[in-house]
Amino acid sequence: MTSDGPTAPKADLSPRTPRIVMIVDNTIDGDSRVQKSARFMASLGWEVFLVGRSPSTERQTTRLDAAVVIKAPTELTLHKRPTLAPRRTLKSVFAYRDKSQASAATLRAKWRKIDFDSYLATHTGIPAFLKKISFVLQRAMHRLRNDQFKRRVSQAKAPRRFAGFTGRSARNTWSYDDPFLADLELAIAPVLAELAPDLIHAHDYRSIGIAVRYADRCSRKGKRPPVVYDAHEFLPGIEGIADARKRRGNETYEAFYLRKSDAIITVAEGIRQELVNRHGLKQNPMIVANVPMARASHWSESGPSVNPWIATGRQDSRLRGWRRSSTRTIYRDPGTD
């Protein structure tokens, strides 16, 4: 990957050729699956944009051969909100406003104990008695407020059992169960709107909702771009999500938006079967294995054993207008020919 530097010119977005935008929740560097997909689509004449996360607070524009790489800054504001500043309830009206206030008050309470002991060392009688009353009341109030704040944080992390009662349908609780998904959408959705793609390729489970929701918004204007979901892995089998609430949020997110995609591809037969069984898919996802391929002619319609890049075009009638009705789109690494 080569960089155009901080003064990289903005890409020409005039509608001259079909445009595909591939979105992913990482920085794109080192993601060979995403990069191979981009290279091949560019070799077919598509205008290719890769959109991922910026490692800094600045938007970065670089190039990957013929593809334009845009890295959008992702502020983890909503992700941090539940523990930094959880919402107040009737049972926590005295709770500290946020984590910084609670931390400062705890330090103040520790200092107040030192100050109290120092005072008693040099004072007796009524002044010492009044000082003790003040200290005890302040300590009790701090403990009350701190306990309520901890309870608010605990409640913010707990699963929401009555989502419907609060006016949110169950399918939308993912933004509360894992607010990072909402932060990611805040970063990538404006880039999608700027690029106005003809086709969206959503890599991995954190991207599918962003793609489908953008496509749904476009449908209100009369043109909905098709969405291809690329399931890099079987989400319930991932061991890296230790938080039960976040796991539930991500699984709910994928399950709901996966069904609204126009085509699904994945990396292996085992994952394909798991996706079909778990989500009740009527059409088998297509396989694009993470292995090199010598020739495109190795492709077969039934789902190959060593076939890394599978056609996604005419299998689904909704996708026939991508490029030409007589052309299949096969992802592969052009460097392996």
pLDDT at 264: 93
Q: Are residue 293 and residue 226 in the same domain, yes or no?
A: yes
Residues 184 and 320 in one domain: yes
How far apart, in whole angstroms, are the C-alpha atoms of residue 306 and residue 152? Answer: 52
pLDDT at residue 152, rounded to an integer = 80
Q: In one letter, which amino acid is 45? A: G
**Ranges of the chain with pLDDT below 70:** 1-16, 76-89, 156-172, 291-337
Shared domain for 69 and 208, answered yes or no, is yes
In a domain, 165, yes or no: no
Residues 95 and 232 occupy one common structural domain: no
The answer to whether 24 and 203 have CB atoms below 8 angstroms apart is yes
Domain membership of residue 31 (yes or no) is yes
pLDDT of residue 192: 93
Q: Does residue 117 sit in the same domain as residue 265?
A: no
Cα-Cα end-to-end distance for the chain: 21
The CA-atom distances, in angstroms, between 276 and each of 263, 271, 332 are 13, 9, 24
Closest CA relative to residue 86, chosen from 183, 175, 185, 176: 176
CA distances from 136 to 44, 94, 116, 133, 142 (A): 75, 17, 10, 5, 10
Between CA 89 and CA 68 the distance in angstroms is 47
pTM: 0.62
Statement to judge: residues 131 and 262 lie in one domain:
no
- Residues 70, 51: Cα–Cα separation, whole Å: 5
**What is the structure's pLDDT at 211?**
94
Could you read off the pLDDT of 238-286 as tens digits, one per residue? 877 777 878 888 898 999 999 999 999 999 899 999 999 999 898 889 9
CATH number of the domain to which 280 belongs? 3.40.50.2000
CB atoms within 10 A of CB 281: 14
The pLDDT assigned to 261 comes to 92
Residues 239 and 140 in one domain: no
Beta bridge partners, 229, equal 202, 264
- Kindly state whether residues 292 and 230 are assigned to the same domain: yes
According to the model, what pLDDT value does residue 16 have? Answer: 63
The pLDDT assigned to 163 comes to 42
What is the spatial distance between Cα 175 and Cα 250, in angstroms, rounded to a whole number?
9
Find the DSSP H helices in 44-124.
Answer: 77-84, 99-122
Percentages helix, strand, coil for the chain (3-state, rounded to 5) are 45, 15, 40
166 belongs to a structural domain: no
260/320 same-domain check: yes
Examine the fold and report which residue of 96, 128, 158 is the final residue of a domain before the chain moves on: 158
Residue 287, domain member (yes or no): yes
> E-assigned strands of the chain?
2-3, 19-23, 47-53, 60-64, 67-72, 199-203, 227-231, 263-266, 286-287
Query: Are 218 and 110 members of one domain?
Result: no
149 occurs within a structural domain = yes
> What confidence score (pLDDT) does residue 168 get?
44
* The pLDDT value given to residue 14: 53
200, 18 in Cβ contact below 8 A?
A: no
C-alpha span between 184 and 191 (Å, rounded): 11
Give the domain range for residue 94: 84-158
Nearest Cα to Cα of residue 33 among 235, 287, 214, 328: 287
Q: Which pLDDT does position 31 carry in this prediction?
A: 86
160 phi, psi to nearest 5 deg: -90, 110
d(CA 21, CA 195): 8
Asked which of 110, 128, 158 is the last residue of a domain, the reply is 158
pLDDT in tens, 134-164: 999 999 999 999 898 888 877 765 555 444 3
> 327 and 257, same structural domain?
yes
Residue 329's pLDDT is what? Answer: 44
Is the same domain home to 196 and 322? yes
Residue 206 lies in a domain: yes
**End residue of a domain, out of 127, 158, 189:** 158
Helix (H, G, I), strand (E, B) or coil at 332: coil
What's the total number of domains in the chain?
Answer: 2
Specify if 171 maps to a domain. Answer: no
Let me know if residue 48 belongs to a domain: yes
- ∠ CA 72-76-81, nearest 5°, is 155
Q: Which helix (H) or strand (E) holds 42?
A: helix 32-43
Going by C-alpha positions, the residue among 215, 92, 81, 90 that lies closest to residue 148 is 92
